Amino acid sequence: MKTVQGISLDYYIWLSAALFTIGVLGVLYRRNSIIIFMCIELMLNAVNLLLVAFASYYQDPQGQVFVFFIMAVAAAEVAVGLAILVLMHMNTKSIDIKVLNRLKW
Partner 1 sequence: MVNSELIIALIPLLPLIGFLLISLFVNRISKSLASLIATGSVLVSFLLAVIIFIKLIGLPVDQRVIQVNIFNWISVEDFSAKISFLIDPLSSLMLLIITGVGFLIHVYSIGYMHNDEASNRFFSYLNLFVFFMLLLVMGSNYLLLFVGWEGVGLCSYLLIGFWFKNKEYTYAANKAFIMNRIGDLGLIVGVILIFIHFGSIEYSSVLQAVSKQGGSEILTLITILLFVGAMGKSAQIPLYTWLPDAMAGPTPVSALIHAATMVTAGIYMVARNNILYTLSPISLNLILIVGLITALFAATIALTQNDIKKVLAYSTVSQLGLMFVALGVGAYSTGIFHMTTHAFFKALLFLAAGSVIHGMQGEQDIRNMGGLRKYLPITFYVFFIGVLAISGIPPFAGFFSKDEILAKAFEHSPVVYGLALLTSLLTVFYMFRLLFLTFFGNARATEEVKHHIHESPKSMTIPLIVLAILSLVGGWIGIPEVLGGSNQVGEFLDPVFTSSQVLLSEHALSRSTEIILMSVVVVSTLILIGVAYSIYVSKNTVPQKENSTLSPFHTLLYNKYYIDELYDSVIVKPLKKIAKVFYRLIEKSGIDFMVNTFGNSIVSGSKFARLLQAGDIAFYIFAMVIGIIVLIATGGLMK
SS3 state of residue 84: helix
Based on the shown chain and the rule CB under 8 A, indicate whether residue 13 belongs to the binding site for partner 1. no
24-53 residues near partner 1, rule: CB under 8 A:
24, 27-28, 31
**Are the C-beta atoms of 16 and 49 separated by less than 8 Å?**
yes
The rounded distance, in Å, linking the Cα atoms of 68 and 31 is 30
Q: Which is nearer to partner 1, 24 or 70 (CB)?
A: 24
Q: Which is nearer to partner 1, 26 or 51 (CB)?
A: 26
CA atoms within 13 A on the CB side of 21: 6
Q: Which is nearer to partner 1, 40 or 67 (CB)?
A: 40
Q: Which is nearer to partner 1, 93 or 104 (CB)?
A: 104
Across the chain, the runs of DSSP E, i.e. the strands, are 3-4, 7-8
Based on the shown chain and the rule CB under 8 A, indicate whether residue 1 belongs to the binding site for partner 1. no
Binding residues for partner 1, rule: CB under 8 A, are 24, 27-28, 31, 97-98, 100-105
